[in-house]
Chain A
Amino acid sequence: MQSEKKRDTMLQTEDNRSTNQVKKETSNVYKVDKLNLWYGKDQALKDITLDIPEKTVTAIIGPSGCGKSTFIKTLNRLTEMVPIVKTSGEVYYRDNNIFNKKFSVEKLRTKVGMVFQKPNPFPKSIYENVVYGPRIHGIKDKKVLDEIVERSLKDAALWDEVKDRLKENAFGLSGGQQQRLCIARCLAIEPDVLLMDEPTSALDPISTLKIEELVQELKKKYSIIIVTHNMQQAGRISDRTAFFLNGEVVEYDDTSNIFSSPQDQRTEDYVSGRFG
């Protein structure tokens, strides 16, 4: 509780310093209101309405192609990289309408980090990967950067494995290490939210376990939204779970409810493995 308060005041002072202020009144990081999204003529998201609470792990589950990736990429507006995408409805990040022109997309993505399905470190050294974010946001001081590297790698539970080879190319790391490096790279800019799109699907069980433990640790400081195909994983690590089907949210509730007493027949079928 205490650490949470400290973090809040930290955020507040940080926000007051920046010109593009992030309002912070509710305890929801995201409020999604009637979000629709089309790839050309194909509708991928239909009337999605849900609130995502802060400092919790929210899992998004659902069969392949139901729009999970599309949904979380909308939360940091990465879907806009696809030219044919059209959206309607509202998404509020801490009471800022993310589609509003006045709220810059760079600002949003600074607050909302993303970890992808396939580990995607840059073809640079481990050190350069971690300082990429701070650098593009204007931090040049070598000492500050060094501190950020150590803190981020420690937070991502990777420091001990790589502290002697920071100058080596990140491609030399194992898949699991690369994924933790990508997490460290996100943490380096001290985001508020972490979006994770199937972060463990390309990893072996041990790396998966490490990342799951990490998520538990990180949720003390960050709000985490994680897409997963793995029902057990959702059950193990998440507090809230949203079940997506064909672009719609079928059910969104506390994870324990979703798995023990789902309200919708389709949810029950899916979580019990009867289709998917």
Chain B
Amino acid sequence: MALPEQDAATVADYPEVEDNSNEKKRQLKNKIFKGIFFGAVLFSLLMLLILLVRIFTQGIGFLNWEFMTSFASRNADEAGIQAAIVGTFWMMVVTAPVAFVLGVGTAVYLEEYAPTNKFTALIQMNISNLAGVPSIVFGLLGLTIFVRELSMGRSVLAGGLTMALLILPIIVVASQEAIRSVPSEMREASFGMGATKWQTMFRIIFPAALPGILTGNILALSRAIGETAPLIMIGALTYIAFLPDNVFSQFTVMPIQIFNWTSRPQEEFHFIAAAGIIVLLAMLLLMNSIAVWIRNKFQQRF
């Protein structure tokens, strides 16, 4: 009951702000910038929408079970994407574990074990720079080292390893951030009980950082699935009439298959390419959703 009285007192304490022209100017400025930012968002959304509509109207008619289960063909009606889907999966079988082990291992070393000196700083800087290197350069690296020097040929193994290198910097940086986000109080608590570095790492820090690490890994993998240039470089095939059955098989992947279809003159192939893009997009969307789900469900709020 005393509340209204109190309110009145508070209001009386602050004299009303003069509504002068300076105030109006600031409000106007505020509105203009809000408009500009909203416009930017609208523009990107519009572009995305146009792209999606175009792809769906072109591709949806060709998207059927037969398309998913047929090999590529000279004949647009019979062409399918099966070899590319299976090829993409095979490549992930190589890329995912290699990139995870190397990337997370590097992150753990840099965050927990590396001494703070010039050499560590140099490594750190180079990892950040590597993330910005054009993917075609990684293709060149893969071609020289895996395909030629280690004579793996144009195999799933060579392609998968190249992709692992490509996404390594992203995984390292994301994992480092996840590890760093575990508060130092956790470390102090564990060390304070006589735990060794390894015990602290393995039992406390790693489990707490794992959701972040996994999210980073999945997002990096979805980048690898969409990459084309490095695989063209190492010579993944565009026409394959068999399914890869081990890591030494030759293979193709979805973006290469799509690229191949779009570069043909016949219009039907462009529609098939659109159908392929829908499949690829669905896969990426699924992976990103899983990443977001993991982040929301398991991320600890400290």
Q: Which residues in A have some Cβ–Cβ distance to B below 8 Å?
A: 76, 78, 81, 83, 106-110, 113-114, 116, 118, 120-123, 132-133, 135-137, 171, 182, 185-186, 189
Contacts and interface: CB of A to CB of B under 8 A. Distances in A.
Interface centre among A78, A108, A136, A171 (most CB of B within 10 A): A136
Interface of B: prevailing SS: helix
Given A136-B193, A136-B194, A116 B185 contact: yes
12 contacts: A76-B192, A81-B184, A81-B187, A83-B116, A106-B195, A106-B196, A114-B188, A114-B192, A120-B183, A120-B189, A136-B196, A171-B300
Interface in B193-223: 193-196, 199, 203-204, 207-208
Contact of A116 (B116, B189, B302): B189
Contacts of B199: 136
A157 to B, nearest CB: 20
A189 B191 contact: no
Contacts of A114: 188, 192
B204 A113 contact: no
Given A83-B116, A123-B300, A116 B188 contact: yes
A119 to B, nearest CB: 9
B194 A133 contact: yes
A107 B208 CA distance: 26
Interface centre among B186, B191, B196, B302 (most CB of A within 10 A): B191
Report the interface size class on chain B.
20 to 34
Contacts of B196: 106, 136
Contacts of A108: 194
Interface of B: 116, 183-196, 199, 203-204, 207-208, 300, 302
A78 B193 contact: no
Given A109-B191, A136-B193, A136-B196, 13 more contacts: A78-B188, A107-B194, A108-B194, A113-B192, A113-B193, A114-B192, A118-B185, A120-B183, A120-B186, A122-B189, A122-B190, A123-B208, A136-B199
B188 A81 contact: yes
Contacts of A137: 194
Contacts of B207: 123
A121 B189 CA distance: 8
